Amino acid sequence: MTSRIAFVTGASRGIGRASALALAAAGNRVVLAARQVDKLEQVAAEIRAASGDAFVVAMDLSSAESIRAALAKASKDFGRIDILVNNAAITKDGLAVRMKQQDWDDVLSTNLTGAFVATQQVLLGMMRERWGRIVNITSVVAEAGNAGQANYVASKAGLIGLTKSLAQEMASRNVTVNAIAPGFIDTDMTSVLPQEWKDKLLAAIPLGRLGKPEDVAAAVRFLASEEAGYITGHVLNVNGGMYM
Protein backbone atom coordinates (compact mmCIF):
# COMPACT_ATOMS: atom_id res chain seq x y z
CA MET A 1 0.00 0.00 0.00
CA THR A 2 1.30 3.46 -0.85
CA SER A 3 1.90 5.61 2.21
CA ARG A 4 -0.68 8.28 2.92
CA ILE A 5 0.09 11.99 3.35
CA ALA A 6 -1.19 13.39 6.66
CA PHE A 7 -1.38 17.11 7.52
CA VAL A 8 -1.57 18.00 11.23
CA THR A 9 -2.27 21.53 12.48
CA GLY A 10 -0.89 22.65 15.84
CA ALA A 11 1.69 19.87 15.56
CA SER A 12 4.39 21.55 17.65
CA ARG A 13 3.17 20.30 21.05
CA GLY A 14 0.54 18.46 23.05
CA ILE A 15 -2.13 16.52 21.19
CA GLY A 16 -0.92 17.70 17.76
CA ARG A 17 2.63 16.51 18.40
CA ALA A 18 1.44 13.14 19.76
CA SER A 19 -0.92 12.72 16.79
CA ALA A 20 1.86 13.46 14.29
CA LEU A 21 4.12 10.90 15.98
CA ALA A 22 1.33 8.28 16.01
CA LEU A 23 0.45 8.84 12.34
CA ALA A 24 4.11 8.59 11.35
CA ALA A 25 4.52 5.39 13.38
CA ALA A 26 1.55 3.98 11.42
CA GLY A 27 3.49 4.52 8.19
CA ASN A 28 2.08 7.84 7.01
CA ARG A 29 4.22 10.71 5.73
CA VAL A 30 3.40 13.66 7.96
CA VAL A 31 3.30 17.40 7.27
CA LEU A 32 3.63 19.35 10.52
CA ALA A 33 2.00 22.78 10.63
CA ALA A 34 2.06 25.50 13.32
CA ARG A 35 3.40 28.98 13.92
CA GLN A 36 6.58 27.95 15.74
CA VAL A 37 8.78 26.36 13.10
CA ASP A 38 11.65 25.68 15.53
CA LYS A 39 9.39 23.48 17.67
CA LEU A 40 8.04 21.73 14.56
CA GLU A 41 11.60 20.93 13.52
CA GLN A 42 12.11 19.15 16.87
CA VAL A 43 9.02 16.99 16.26
CA ALA A 44 10.16 16.31 12.69
CA ALA A 45 13.57 15.22 14.01
CA GLU A 46 11.85 12.77 16.40
CA ILE A 47 9.85 11.27 13.53
CA ARG A 48 12.90 10.97 11.30
CA ALA A 49 14.91 9.39 14.12
CA ALA A 50 12.27 6.63 14.16
CA SER A 51 12.68 6.18 10.37
CA GLY A 52 9.55 8.18 9.54
CA ASP A 53 8.97 10.93 6.96
CA ALA A 54 8.19 14.43 8.28
CA PHE A 55 7.99 17.85 6.65
CA VAL A 56 7.53 21.25 8.27
CA VAL A 57 5.38 24.16 7.11
CA ALA A 58 4.69 27.44 8.92
CA MET A 59 0.98 28.20 9.32
CA ASP A 60 -1.04 30.73 11.30
CA LEU A 61 -4.57 29.44 11.80
CA SER A 62 -5.94 32.94 12.39
CA SER A 63 -5.02 33.87 8.80
CA ALA A 64 -6.94 32.34 5.89
CA GLU A 65 -4.11 33.37 3.53
CA SER A 66 -1.55 31.55 5.68
CA ILE A 67 -3.71 28.39 5.80
CA ARG A 68 -4.27 28.39 2.04
CA ALA A 69 -0.56 28.95 1.34
CA ALA A 70 0.55 26.16 3.71
CA LEU A 71 -1.88 23.60 2.30
CA ALA A 72 -1.19 24.65 -1.30
CA LYS A 73 2.53 24.10 -0.70
CA ALA A 74 1.95 20.69 0.91
CA SER A 75 -0.45 19.60 -1.86
CA LYS A 76 2.00 20.75 -4.56
CA ASP A 77 5.00 19.04 -2.94
CA PHE A 78 3.22 15.72 -2.32
CA GLY A 79 0.54 15.69 -5.00
CA ARG A 80 -2.26 15.35 -2.45
CA ILE A 81 -3.32 15.39 1.21
CA ASP A 82 -5.03 12.17 2.31
CA ILE A 83 -5.51 12.87 6.02
CA LEU A 84 -6.22 16.22 7.69
CA VAL A 85 -6.14 16.59 11.47
CA ASN A 86 -7.63 19.93 12.57
CA ASN A 87 -6.09 20.22 16.01
CA ALA A 88 -4.76 23.76 16.50
CA ALA A 89 -6.81 25.92 18.86
CA ILE A 90 -6.53 28.89 21.22
CA THR A 91 -8.36 29.99 24.37
CA LYS A 92 -9.21 33.49 25.59
CA ASP A 93 -11.31 32.73 28.64
CA GLY A 94 -13.61 35.10 30.49
CA LEU A 95 -17.19 35.36 31.71
CA ALA A 96 -19.64 36.19 28.92
CA VAL A 97 -20.90 39.29 30.70
CA ARG A 98 -17.45 40.88 30.37
CA MET A 99 -16.07 39.15 27.27
CA LYS A 100 -14.53 41.48 24.71
CA GLN A 101 -15.84 41.14 21.17
CA GLN A 102 -12.23 40.74 20.02
CA ASP A 103 -11.72 37.71 22.30
CA TRP A 104 -14.88 36.14 20.92
CA ASP A 105 -13.86 36.84 17.31
CA ASP A 106 -10.27 35.62 17.75
CA VAL A 107 -11.26 32.25 19.24
CA LEU A 108 -14.06 31.57 16.72
CA SER A 109 -11.86 32.69 13.83
CA THR A 110 -8.95 30.42 14.79
CA ASN A 111 -10.73 27.35 16.16
CA LEU A 112 -13.73 27.12 13.85
CA THR A 113 -13.17 29.24 10.75
CA GLY A 114 -9.51 28.16 10.59
CA ALA A 115 -10.52 24.49 10.64
CA PHE A 116 -13.13 25.13 7.94
CA VAL A 117 -10.68 26.97 5.67
CA ALA A 118 -8.09 24.19 6.11
CA THR A 119 -10.71 21.54 5.33
CA GLN A 120 -11.91 23.39 2.25
CA GLN A 121 -8.39 23.23 0.79
CA VAL A 122 -8.27 19.42 0.88
CA LEU A 123 -11.81 18.45 -0.13
CA LEU A 124 -11.41 18.59 -3.92
CA GLY A 125 -8.25 16.48 -3.81
CA MET A 126 -9.87 13.89 -1.55
CA MET A 127 -12.95 13.77 -3.80
CA ARG A 128 -10.71 13.24 -6.82
CA GLU A 129 -8.80 10.42 -5.08
CA ARG A 130 -12.05 8.98 -3.69
CA TRP A 131 -10.32 8.54 -0.34
CA GLY A 132 -9.86 10.86 2.59
CA ARG A 133 -9.88 11.18 6.35
CA ILE A 134 -10.68 14.39 8.19
CA VAL A 135 -10.36 14.32 11.98
CA ASN A 136 -11.46 17.39 13.94
CA ILE A 137 -10.27 17.79 17.53
CA THR A 138 -13.15 19.24 19.52
CA SER A 139 -13.53 19.04 23.33
CA VAL A 140 -15.60 17.57 26.15
CA VAL A 141 -16.75 21.13 26.93
CA ALA A 142 -18.40 21.31 23.47
CA GLU A 143 -20.86 18.71 24.78
CA ALA A 144 -21.01 19.64 28.46
CA GLY A 145 -20.46 23.42 28.40
CA ASN A 146 -18.06 25.27 30.69
CA ALA A 147 -18.45 28.53 32.60
CA GLY A 148 -15.98 31.21 31.51
CA GLN A 149 -15.39 29.68 28.07
CA ALA A 150 -18.40 30.74 25.99
CA ASN A 151 -16.18 31.54 22.99
CA TYR A 152 -14.08 28.35 23.17
CA VAL A 153 -17.12 26.11 23.81
CA ALA A 154 -19.04 27.71 20.93
CA SER A 155 -16.08 27.19 18.59
CA LYS A 156 -15.68 23.53 19.59
CA ALA A 157 -19.43 22.84 19.44
CA GLY A 158 -19.42 24.45 15.99
CA LEU A 159 -16.71 21.99 14.98
CA ILE A 160 -19.05 19.09 15.85
CA GLY A 161 -21.78 20.57 13.64
CA LEU A 162 -19.24 21.10 10.85
CA THR A 163 -18.07 17.49 11.21
CA LYS A 164 -21.57 16.07 10.83
CA SER A 165 -22.48 18.27 7.85
CA LEU A 166 -19.23 17.49 6.01
CA ALA A 167 -19.64 13.78 6.76
CA GLN A 168 -22.96 13.85 4.91
CA GLU A 169 -21.57 15.88 2.00
CA MET A 170 -18.45 13.75 1.50
CA ALA A 171 -19.69 10.20 2.18
CA SER A 172 -20.43 9.35 -1.46
CA ARG A 173 -16.76 10.03 -2.30
CA ASN A 174 -15.42 7.67 0.38
CA VAL A 175 -14.18 10.57 2.52
CA THR A 176 -14.90 10.20 6.23
CA VAL A 177 -15.19 13.14 8.62
CA ASN A 178 -15.09 12.51 12.36
CA ALA A 179 -14.40 14.40 15.56
CA ILE A 180 -12.60 13.50 18.75
CA ALA A 181 -13.70 15.16 21.99
CA PRO A 182 -10.84 14.95 24.49
CA GLY A 183 -11.51 15.48 28.17
CA PHE A 184 -8.87 17.13 30.32
CA ILE A 185 -5.51 16.15 28.88
CA ASP A 186 -2.16 16.75 30.55
CA THR A 187 -0.75 19.42 28.18
CA ASP A 188 0.70 22.95 28.38
CA MET A 189 -2.89 24.24 28.25
CA THR A 190 -3.90 22.40 31.46
CA SER A 191 -0.55 22.57 33.29
CA VAL A 192 -1.28 26.18 34.30
CA LEU A 193 -4.44 25.22 36.24
CA PRO A 194 -4.23 25.67 40.02
CA GLN A 195 -3.85 22.38 41.96
CA GLU A 196 -7.26 22.77 43.65
CA TRP A 197 -8.88 22.90 40.20
CA LYS A 198 -6.99 19.79 39.16
CA ASP A 199 -8.14 17.96 42.30
CA LYS A 200 -11.74 18.97 41.54
CA LEU A 201 -11.34 17.78 37.95
CA LEU A 202 -9.90 14.42 38.98
CA ALA A 203 -12.87 13.87 41.28
CA ALA A 204 -15.15 14.26 38.23
CA ILE A 205 -13.23 11.75 36.08
CA PRO A 206 -14.28 8.12 36.74
CA LEU A 207 -10.91 6.80 35.52
CA GLY A 208 -9.24 9.02 38.12
CA ARG A 209 -6.53 10.61 35.99
CA LEU A 210 -5.97 13.30 33.40
CA GLY A 211 -5.62 11.98 29.88
CA LYS A 212 -2.29 11.83 28.06
CA PRO A 213 -1.80 13.31 24.57
CA GLU A 214 -1.06 9.73 23.46
CA ASP A 215 -4.60 8.68 24.52
CA VAL A 216 -6.02 11.12 21.98
CA ALA A 217 -3.36 10.34 19.36
CA ALA A 218 -4.35 6.65 19.40
CA ALA A 219 -7.91 7.68 18.49
CA VAL A 220 -6.62 9.97 15.73
CA ARG A 221 -4.51 7.16 14.30
CA PHE A 222 -7.51 4.80 14.28
CA LEU A 223 -9.96 7.26 12.67
CA ALA A 224 -7.35 8.08 10.00
CA SER A 225 -6.81 4.40 9.16
CA GLU A 226 -8.26 2.02 6.57
CA GLU A 227 -9.97 0.13 9.41
CA ALA A 228 -12.17 3.13 10.26
CA GLY A 229 -13.63 3.31 6.75
CA TYR A 230 -17.20 2.65 7.90
CA ILE A 231 -17.20 5.35 10.61
CA THR A 232 -18.22 8.88 9.67
CA GLY A 233 -20.00 11.79 11.37
CA HIS A 234 -18.99 10.36 14.74
CA VAL A 235 -17.79 12.18 17.87
CA LEU A 236 -15.42 9.93 19.81
CA ASN A 237 -15.15 10.85 23.48
CA VAL A 238 -11.66 10.37 24.97
CA ASN A 239 -12.41 11.74 28.40
CA GLY A 240 -11.95 9.07 31.08
CA GLY A 241 -15.73 8.92 31.52
CA MET A 242 -16.17 12.50 32.76
CA TYR A 243 -18.99 13.08 30.28
CA MET A 244 -21.15 10.23 29.00
Asked if pLDDT for residue 83 goes beyond 60, the answer is: yes
Asked if pLDDT for residue 188 goes beyond 80, the answer is: no
Give buried/exposed letters for 130-168 (b at 16+ CB in 10 A, else e).
Answer: ebbbbbbbbbbbbbeeeeebbbbbbbbbbbbebbbebbe
pLDDT value for 197: 84
- pTM: predicted TM-score of the whole model, two decimal places: 0.96
Work out the number of other CB atoms within 10 angstroms of the CB of residue 37.
15
152 is catalytic: yes
The CATH architecture annotation of domain 5-184+213-238 reads 3-Layer(aba) Sandwich (3.40)
Of the candidates 152, 180, 224, 236, the residue annotated as catalytic is 152
Angle at 183 between CA 40 and CA 138, to 5 degrees: 60
Kindly state the average pLDDT of the residues 149-167. Answer: 98
Domain residue ranges in the chain:
5-184+213-238
pLDDT value for 193: 80
To the nearest whole number, what is the mean pLDDT of the chain?
A: 96
Phi-psi region of 186 (alpha: psi -120 to 50; beta: other; left: phi over 0): beta
